[in-house]
Chain A
Amino acid sequence: MIPAPFTYLRVGSVQEALDALAEYGDDAKLLAGGHSLIPLMKYRLATPKVLIDISGIAELSGVTFEGDSLVIGAATRHAIVEHSPVVKEHCRLLAYTASLVGDPQVRNRGTIGGSVAHGDSASDLPVSLLAMDAQFTAQGRNGTRTIAAADFFVGFWQTALTPNEVLINIKVPLAKQRWSYQKFTIRSQDWATVSSAVYGNAVALGAMADIPIRARDVESALLQGADISQAALLADHNTSPSSDTRASSDYRRHLARVLTEDGLREALARN
C-alpha cells in the first residue's frame, strides 16, 4: 500500500510550519512521528497534497518545568516520555501510559502531540491526559491559546485545533496523586478495547464514546463515600461504546466497570 502522491516539506521552526499551513490550507497535514497519519495515507483514508514535517523543530521536543506543571513538547516521542527520569519522578501516570502505546517500534517514532491531535478515543495518552486535566497549548498566526483537556477532544478523530494551528506542548500538573492506567487489549500492541485512567479523584475512560470521557458518576459516588466496587458499577453511565470486531457494546460496558474497579483499587494501594 502506497500513499497518494504528495509534496513533502521539512520545516525548521513553528513559524515556518504556520506559514506553510497558511499557504496550503486544507491540502496540508502536519507530520511528526507519522504513526497515525502514514497508515491512514496508505489506506487512502487521508490524501493530503502537502506534508509538513515538524519532527525536526527543536523547540517542540523535550520535557521542561513551568510553575507547577510539567511541559511536554508536542513532538516528543513516546519512548522519550516513557523513559524520561523527570516524567517518571513527577508524573508516573504519564510515563506508564506512554509505555503502553503500540509497541517499541511505534514508541520510537510516535509523538505525544501526534497521538492527541489524532483524537482517537481508543488511544492511550488522551485518556490519562483527560484524567489529569492536562492543558494543551496551540499556536496560530495570532498567537497561542490554551485548551483544557475537557474541551480538546470534540468528536470522532476531531479536536479543538483549527486547521491553521500547531499543537506546541502539553502541560500536566506536578501534583502527586494516586494513579492507575488499565488497558484491555486483544493483542498486546493494540489500541485499547477499553481503557480506564485514575488520577486522584478523577476517572477517565477510553473507547467508551467518540471521545475520551470522564466517568463523572463514578467520581461523584466516590466523593459521596461509596465504596470502590459500588462506584465502579457506574463506570458505563452516560457512555456510548460502539460494537465492532474487537468487542460488542455490552462487553465494552462490562470492561469499563471491571477496569475502573481494578484501577481504583490499584490507585488506592499506591496511596
Chain B
Amino acid sequence: MTTRVNISINARRYEYEVEDRTLLVHFIREQARLTGTHIGCDSSNCGACTVLLDGQAVKSCTLLAVQADGQNVSTVEGLTGSFNGLSPIQEGFRQEHGLQCGYCTPGMLMACTALLAENAQPSESEIRHALEGNICRCTGYEMIVRSVQWAAAKQVQQ
C-alpha cells in the first residue's frame, strides 16, 4: 500500500507517494535527496540518522515517513540556514576537532542542536547524558563534549 506524504524539511515542502513501509531516513535521502543524514547501524542504536521532528531529536531510521506526514523535519543541511556560514555548533565542531571520519557528525550536530535549544548552558554531565543516543567511534567523545561547550560559550557571547 502507498500513501501520499507531505513533509516539510528545512522549511521546504516535499510531497511524494511512498510505500507505507518507507522509513523517514529513506524519504529524506532518496525522495528529498538530502544525503547529509546518514544511516549507520540502521537499528536505532547509533544515532547517525538523528534529525529534528517538530524540534525534537529522533532517529529517522526508526520512524515511518507516514508517521511524519504533515510535520516539520530539520536536517543537517538546514543548520546553516539562519547563520552566515556555520551555525555555532558546527563551528564548535570545527574549532574543537569534534569529528574525525565524520560519519556520526550529522546526527551528533542535530542531537547537540536539540540539546542547546533546550538547555543553553549544559554541564558536562548533561552534555554526555544528552548524547547517549549517538555513537562516535573516532573521538572518544572528549572533543565532541568540548565542541558543545564551545558553542554554548559562543551563544552567550552573541
Contact = CB atoms under 8 A, between A and B. Distances in A.
B63 A104 contact: no
Contact of A103 (B1, B43, B47): B47
Contacts of B19: 5
Given A8-B64, A109-B62, A189 B21 contact: no
B10 interface: no
A268 interface: no
Given A34-B67, A38-B62, A105-B47, A4 B21 contact: yes
A30 to B, nearest CB: 13
Nearest to B114: A104
Contacts of A2: 21, 23, 26
B1 A8 contact: yes
Interface in B121-158: 129-130, 132-134
Contacts of B63: 34, 38, 109
B77 interface: no
A168 B35 CA distance: 39
A189 B42 contact: no
Given A5-B1, A105-B133, A189-B133, A34 B64 contact: yes
Interface in B1-40: 1, 3, 19-21, 23, 26
A4 B50 CA distance: 23
A108 interface: yes
A41 B42 CA distance: 12
Interface in B47-96: 47, 50, 53, 56-59, 62-64, 66-67
Contact of A105 (B20, B21, B57, B129): B57
Interface in A1-43: 1-8, 10, 31, 34-35, 38-39, 41-43
B57 A104 contact: yes
Contacts of B58: 105, 108-109
A3 B130 CA distance: 29
A51 interface: yes
* Most chain A beta-carbon contacts within 10 A, residue among B50, B63, B64: B64
A217 interface: no
A55 B68 CA distance: 12
A102 B21 contact: no
A6 B21 contact: yes
A188 interface: yes
B130 A39 contact: no
A161 interface: no
Contacts of B3: 8
A266 interface: no
Given A2-B23, A105-B57, A105-B59, A39 B133 contact: no
A234 interface: no
Interface string A77-110: 0010000000000000000000000111110110
A35 B64 CA distance: 11
Contact of A104 (B1, B45, B111): B111
Contacts of B42: 1, 42
B59 A106 contact: yes
**A-B pairs, 5 with minimum CB distance:** A103-B133, A8-B20, A7-B1, A103-B132, A105-B133
Interface of A: 1-8, 10, 31, 34-35, 38-39, 41-43, 51, 53, 55, 79, 102-106, 108-109, 188-189
28 contacts: A1-B43, A3-B21, A5-B1, A8-B3, A8-B66, A10-B66, A31-B67, A34-B67, A38-B44, A38-B62, A38-B64, A42-B42, A43-B43, A53-B66, A53-B67, A55-B67, A102-B133, A103-B47, A103-B132, A103-B134, A104-B130, A105-B47, A105-B50, A105-B111, A108-B53, A108-B56, A109-B63, A189-B132
